[in-house]
Structure 1
Amino acid sequence: MQWFSKSRSSKGGVGEGKEPIGGDANQPRLAVAHFMLGNTYPFTEQDWMKTFDLAEDTALDGLALNIGPEEWQLAQACTAYRLLSASNHTLKLFLSLDLMVLPKDPELLVGKIVKIVQSGQSAQLKWDKKILLSTFGGHDLGDDGWREVLSGFKNALGEKVFFIPSFFLPPEEILKKDYVDGAYHWNGAWPMDNSTTTLDSDRPFLDHKKPYMASVSPLFFTHYGTEGEWAFNKNWIYRSDDLLLPRRFSQLLSLPPDKSPQMIQAISWNDFGESHYIGPILGAQPGSESWTEGMDHEGFRLITKYYIQQWKTQMSGTDSKEKGRLIVWYRTQSRDMVIAEDRVGKPDHAEWAQDLLNFFIVLPESKYSTKDHYNLHVQNAGEPVKPYLLNVGVPNLIHIHFKLGEVFFKVMKNNEEVVIEGEGKDIAQGGRWNYNMWTGVYDAK
């Protein structure tokens, strides 16, 4: 039973105390997440409704359904459109054609798209009153092929299409295509080398007049070998340890109005094979159980929700309805672990990993006085770490070098009262190579 396409390859409101951030208040802003239909083989209608509920709770406007060639993926996409169109959700859907695995056949693509959208047209996400359509790859279909797809889609449904593909081409080549209405830069979500994240690769898109969809992601780790059922031969990481998700969001939120993206896509909701899921593990896994078991990512979902709400309201700070919260995330192995019980080798770029505990801490002004002092206290491997002074009313982003052993942390008020406390997962030796991360969420008492 195939739950994942085996030829798939290199994918790599406004509250008290808030301040305006970059952006045009009159310009609509969309936030969506990439969703793998390839992991939904066993999905029931109840699973779809749970997904819609949680995506909407995350402040998302839509899910980009990545679709491959299998007939059951087509059936699940139709089910999703049908269920959502009959519900009271504000969430919408749109298609991301995975041209790494789909046939390069315009007629087939048109038929697939039309069948899905007609299953529940009110569920379709639109931009500028046009049906939103995206891709993962596909520039090799050719200009004439894409014109045929877009005209066929428009003629069949009688509606205009807003085409915003993720083509893996130089920016200027993408943007000059007359049938491309906007651009989506997939690889902007992670540094492509051993450095911290920047907006350098986004600049050509941000400087162009066409709408831009920026990408964000919490991490990237995939660990497939060359033998067995899941022989994808994908085994690498991107540098992700040093506060990647909040740093990337903060950089995008800091942009001035005329340089801001119109859309943000989170990679991903449920791509377990590449470890960047922000949703729960639900449905099928593409042979990724060894690196996702016990690795809850609810913390990434809540960080995404926090920044999306700010991006939409275009205000910074903490909402008066929020309570104090600490989110922690880290790998549970050291990058310097030498021996692993693993037939698949150590991932490429493993040396880019940083042995860091990452913290996102918010203390809303409505509940915490700036006259008091708050500190983060961490104990790792039985040793205390120097306390970190925390600010009230803004996110506190902290990373601390870790050692093998237990992890404890607490937020103290005036060095007397415990406000938040918790225990993380132990950092240990042994087992298979695992550069996925565990997240923990701890709320104030």
Structure 2
Amino acid sequence: MRYVLAAALTVAFFALLPAQAAKAVFSHMIVGNLPDFTLSDWESDIRLAQSSRIDAFALNVAAQDSSTTRSLDLAFQAADALNFSLFFSFDYLAQGPWPADRVISLIQKYSVHKSYFRHDDDTRPLVSTFEGPGNAGDWHAIKVATNAFFVPNWSSVSAAEALNLAGGVADGLFSWDAWPEGNTNMTTGPDKVFLEALRPRGKVYMMAVSPWFFTNLPGFGKNWLWRGDELWDIRWQQVLDIQADFVQILTWNDYGESHYIGPVREKELGLFTTANAPVNYVRSMTHDGWRKFLPFYIEAYKTGRIPNAVEESVVATYRTSPALACPGGGTKGNNGDFGQNEVAPEELMDDNVYYSALLNSDRGVTVTVSIGGKEQTGILSKVSAAGPGSRGVYMGAVPFGGNTGDVVVAVLRDGKRVATAEGGKGISAKCENNVQNWNAVVV
């Protein structure tokens, strides 16, 4: 097993943090995946986000999507009623660039809602993008017409180049860099490059956090994965270190790329048919567990302090088949289109059950992992960011060990069970349609 300790933070670090402007955490939502969403569906997802302490959905809207108007009307109706926030992330890649007049029209129409997220003492509607640096010049007129606070993702160019586009039209930058290359864990190196470019110019940084990445959609020309083992908790520890102005979770509902943290509904999975996927790798693959620790992480990020007490709990993350149990489906590890060295996917993913425990202390704590009734003893090999014996998230893993069946992870203190993770799809040596599913179950 590969274990690299995440960057350790100390209690003193949190105590010494300077006073900061109000921070916020968003989750990226693909509106094009929701043409059949009802008002009740929007309300349900918003309530789940609120219970996780998420401040707003960044609404990814594509230029040619015919369902956008209906979806946006329902979304803002629900958000207004539930005191939640929304803002636009204009997608310039999925269906081509947005005409500037249509961007202006949408911002003007929906930013009058009380639920539209605003920056600078609630005066400027926040607007972002997915790519679009070639249209940077449009944003002078858009900002004049809408008073938008503009924080695009232009990650296809360097931070320094993005800052200078159209004479520095961006008010900040959002980096889409949330996944590691190769078999090492994610680092904060890319974040620091953005900070070094942005801070001297007084502009904001929006940091990306994502738990996973796997896509196999031949119709969209997509079939690769990046290492996701332990990524979610490691990246949140990096959020506490970096202390960016904003954090955006990638994503709430991008099922095609397997990094959703929202619920899975059958009505949202039409893209697997549209894109000729060899297997629906999302059905029955819950990721609900990735929301479990968000209130803890978000409070620590916003306040600069570890919460005084936590509800002790445990989350289990695992793939549902050993890497070599079935044909890999042509999936590559890494993406050569990004100049990366492509490798076999099993080189990036370990056959482990990973567990993360949110504890008031690890003293007297042991972990057991049962696969199909065969029990292994685990250890907490990565300690809380604030140090051993403190409140925080502790992590570890055990190998599949050739076992199959239902997975149950239990945390015990002095022999008494304090938390359990169970109920997800079990591990099997058989794969649907004889194709490997590189997605994860999270309970």
Tell me if TM exceeds 0.5. Answer: yes
Q: Indicate which of 47, 65, 69 corresponds to 2:41.
A: 47
Q: Distance in 1 between matches of 2:15 and 2:288?
A: 26
Letter in 1 for 2:412: M
Give the alignment of 1:8-407 within 5 angstroms. 20=14, 23-68=17-62, 69-85=64-80, 87-89=81-83, 91-100=84-93, 101-118=95-112, 120=113, 122-128=114-120, 129-141=123-135, 143-151=136-144, 153-154=145-146, 160-167=147-154, 168-177=156-165, 178-187=168-177, 189-207=178-196, 208-209=198-199, 210-225=203-218, 231-241=219-229, 243-255=230-242, 260-282=243-265, 283-288=267-272, 290-316=280-306, 318-320=307-309, 322-339=310-327, 344-349=329-334, 350=345, 351-364=347-360, 373-380=364-371, 384-388=375-379, 391=389, 393-404=391-402, 405-406=404-405, 407=407
Q: Distance in 2 between matches of 1:21 and 1:252?
A: 16
Query: Is 1:427 aligned with 2:427?
Result: yes
2:239 aligned counterpart, secondary structure: helix
2:262 aligned counterpart, secondary structure: coil
2:220 aligned counterpart, secondary structure: coil
Q: Does the 8 Å contact 2:208/2:249 carry over to 1?
A: yes
Q: Distance in 1 between matches of 2:153 and 2:211?
A: 19
With normalisation by structure 2, the TM-score equals 0.81
Residues 186 and 387 of structure 1, relative CA distance in 2, 3 Å threshold: closer
1:27 aligned counterpart, secondary structure: coil
Residues 146 and 386 of structure 1, relative CA distance in 2, 3 Å threshold: same
Q: Distance in 2 between matches of 1:41 and 1:374?
A: 46
Q: Does the 8 Å contact 1:329/1:439 carry over to 2?
A: yes
Aligned-pair distance for 1:236?
0.6
Unaligned runs of 5+ residues in structure 1 are 1-16, 155-159, 226-230, 441-445
Aligned-pair distance for 1:21?
5.6
1:427 aligned counterpart, secondary structure: coil
Mean Cα deviation higher: 429-438 or 61-70:
429-438
Q: Distance in 1 between matches of 2:374 and 2:77?
A: 55
Residues 421 and 125 of structure 1, relative CA distance in 2, 3 Å threshold: closer
Q: Does the 8 Å contact 2:152/2:170 carry over to 1?
A: yes
Q: Deviations over 1:14-71 (max 9, x none)?
A: xxx9983674334211100001101110111111111221111111111100001223
Q: Distance in 2 between matches of 1:272 and 1:135?
A: 19
Q: How many residues align?
A: 391
Residues 394 and 266 of structure 1, relative CA distance in 2, 3 Å threshold: same
Give the aligned partner of residue 6 of structure 1.
none
2:300 aligned counterpart, secondary structure: helix
Q: Deviations over 1:156-196 (max 9, x none)?
A: xxxx2110000121110012242100000012x11133321
1:362 aligned counterpart, secondary structure: strand
Mean Cα deviation higher: 108-117 or 191-200:
108-117
Q: Distance in 2 between matches of 1:375 and 1:348?
A: 34
Give the aligned partner of residue 338 of structure 2.
none
Aligned-pair distance for 1:233?
1.4
Residues 397 and 38 of structure 1, relative CA distance in 2, 3 Å threshold: same
Q: Distance in 1 between matches of 2:333 and 2:311?
A: 40
Q: Does the 8 Å contact 1:22/1:253 carry over to 2?
A: no
Task: Report sequence identity in percent.
Answer: 27
Letter in 1 for 2:352: L
Residues 88 and 18 of structure 1, relative CA distance in 2, 3 Å threshold: farther
Give the aligned partner of residue 436 of structure 1.
439
Q: Distance in 1 between matches of 2:53 and 2:373?
A: 39
2:106 aligned counterpart, secondary structure: helix
Residues 422 and 281 of structure 1, relative CA distance in 2, 3 Å threshold: closer
CA RMSD of superposed structures (Å): 2.4
Letter in 1 for 2:441: W
Q: Does the 8 Å contact 2:365/2:411 carry over to 1?
A: yes
Mean Cα deviation higher: 302-311 or 132-141:
302-311
Q: Distance in 1 between matches of 2:210 and 2:148?
A: 27
Q: Deviations over 1:93-119 (max 9, x none)?
A: 10000001244422232223323334x
Unaligned runs of 5+ residues in structure 2 are 1-10, 273-278, 335-344, 384-388
With normalisation by structure 1, the TM-score equals 0.81
